[in-house]
């Protein structure tokens, strides 16, 4: 997978993917069980970036954001824990990446307010994700409406310069750049960088029904599904009515689209050739897909089991991540307060 800098960013430049001064940040919403669309479309890239930007990669579990849709407190706890376990099992390394819960950084809420005071209503009115979510039936709350503002605060509070996201988040990054620019212009400063979007150009992962894999469509395969669950889900993958012995077009076949994510190039080519020659039917290809899915995540599954038995460790990672992120957040917030003319903080020991 490769990442391309978004040349449309308003600072005009291309993201410098090698500069040591860069800081990467991305949030993960705990709104469902993470699935293989999330893995190939986001998580894999986050893990690559923790190596490339070791020490300067910030990843957080966006529980404040999830409040817009998750209304059951127990479910919230379960989902946050699930994301933490998944990321740590898949290879998130707390020595390289700062990993924290968004709500452990209450400073983002204060910055959201300060930024909200330099943000025009029209900017948020143009956010298409809000309209899409309301169309999907999510309550049109103020929280959902100002979601991009909170997102801007998440990014700007650690003054992150690179934000790897999927295409669905590209507009929110434009909004963040606008907000950063508005603050800097209003207070004649350069406190906030204009963060660059790093678009993940991984293909959209199809779900079992061929639509984009998404929890909203109930067509996902969870990363840590059990073998039986994987078998049941693969069985449900939609296929054409091509009779056995007839050629199958791999270009339109969902089994093949999924298989090539997990298989080596050689194995994927072999399936493609056998399909075209009419030598492979769906029973055989689904068997290969199932085996490939199980073995791909096998090593991570063991690690996840271990972590499930050591939730104190998981909690420690998140707590230490929050401490590190809060140092940055307090520094930024103190500067922002000073620029806008709020009194120096008297209630916390903000280090400056
Ligand atoms: P979501 O929780 O659905 O907003 O997904 C979070 C991120 O995961 C997105 O911004 C994408 O980068 C990635 N993602 C989710 N579903 C898919 C998919 N079916 N194919 C590729 N990437 C996906």
Which residue minimizes the CA distance to atom 11 of ligand 1? Answer: 166
Q: Which residues contact 127 (CB under 8 A, 6 or more apart)?
A: 147, 148, 171, 172, 175
Centre of ligand 1 to C-alpha 270, Å, is 28
> Quick check: CB of 320 below 6 Å from ligand 1?
no
* Beta carbons of 17 and 5 less than 8 angstroms apart: yes
- pTM for the whole structure: 0.90
pLDDT at 347: 62
pLDDT at 202: 80
Centre of ligand 1 to C-alpha 247, Å, is 32
The 10s digit of each residue's pLDDT in 169-192 is: 999 999 999 999 999 999 999 999
Domains detected in the chain: 24-204+310-340 (3.40.50.620), 215-308 (1.10.240.10)
DSSP 55: T
Look up tokens 């409040």; give the residue.
67
Centre of ligand 1 to C-alpha 120, Å, is 29
- Residues in the chain predicted with pLDDT less than 70, given as ranges, are 1-20, 347-352
Packing angle of the helix pair 170-186, 107-116 (nearest 10 deg): 70
Packing angle of the helix pair 311-340, 73-90 (nearest 10 deg): 100
> Quick check: CB of 151 below 6 Å from ligand 1?
no
């Amino acid at each position: 997978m490769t990442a391309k800098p978004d040349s449309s960013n308003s600072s005009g430049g291309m993201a410098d993917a090698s500069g040591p001064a860069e800081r990467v940040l991305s949030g993960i919403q705990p709104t469902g069980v993470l699935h293989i669309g999330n893995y190939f479309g986001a998580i894999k890239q986050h893990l690559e970036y923790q190596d490339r930007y070791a020490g300067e990669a910030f990843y957080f579990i966006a529980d404040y954001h999830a409040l817009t849709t998750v209304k059951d407190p127990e479910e919230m706890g379960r989902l946050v824990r699930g994301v933490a376990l998944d990321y740590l099992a898949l290879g998130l390394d707390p020595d390289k990446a700062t990993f924290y819960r968004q709500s452990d950084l209450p400073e983002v809420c204060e910055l959201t307010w300060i930024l909200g005071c330099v943000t025009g209503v029209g900017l948020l009115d143009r956010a298409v994700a809000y309209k899409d979510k309301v169309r999907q039936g999510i309550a049109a709350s103020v929280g959902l409406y100002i979601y991009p503002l909170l997102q801007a605060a998440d990014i700007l509070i650690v003054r992150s310069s690179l934000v790897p996201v999927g295409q669905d988040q590209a507009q929110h990054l434009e909004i963040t750049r606008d907000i950063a620019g508005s603050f800097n212009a209003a207070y004649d400063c350069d406190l906030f960088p204009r963060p660059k979007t790093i678009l993940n150009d991984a293909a959209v992962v199809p779900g079992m029904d061929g639509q984009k894999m998404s929890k909203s469509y109930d067509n996902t395969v969870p990363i840590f599904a059990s073998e039986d669950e994987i078998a049941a889900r693969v069985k449900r993958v939609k296929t054409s009515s091509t009779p056995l012995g007839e050629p199958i077009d791999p270009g339109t076949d969902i089994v093949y689209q999924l298989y090539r994510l997990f298989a080596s190039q050689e194995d994927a080519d072999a399936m493609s050739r056998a399909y075209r020659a009419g030598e492979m039917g769906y029973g055989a290809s689904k068997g290969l897909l199932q085996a490939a899915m199980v073995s791909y995540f096998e090593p991570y599954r063991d690690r996840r089991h271990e972590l499930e038995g050591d939730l104190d460790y998981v909690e420690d990672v998140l707590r230490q991540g929050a401490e590190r992120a809060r140092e940055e957040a307090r520094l930024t917030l103190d500067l922002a307060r000073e620029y806008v003319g709020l009194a120096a903080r008297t209630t916390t020991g903000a280090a400056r």
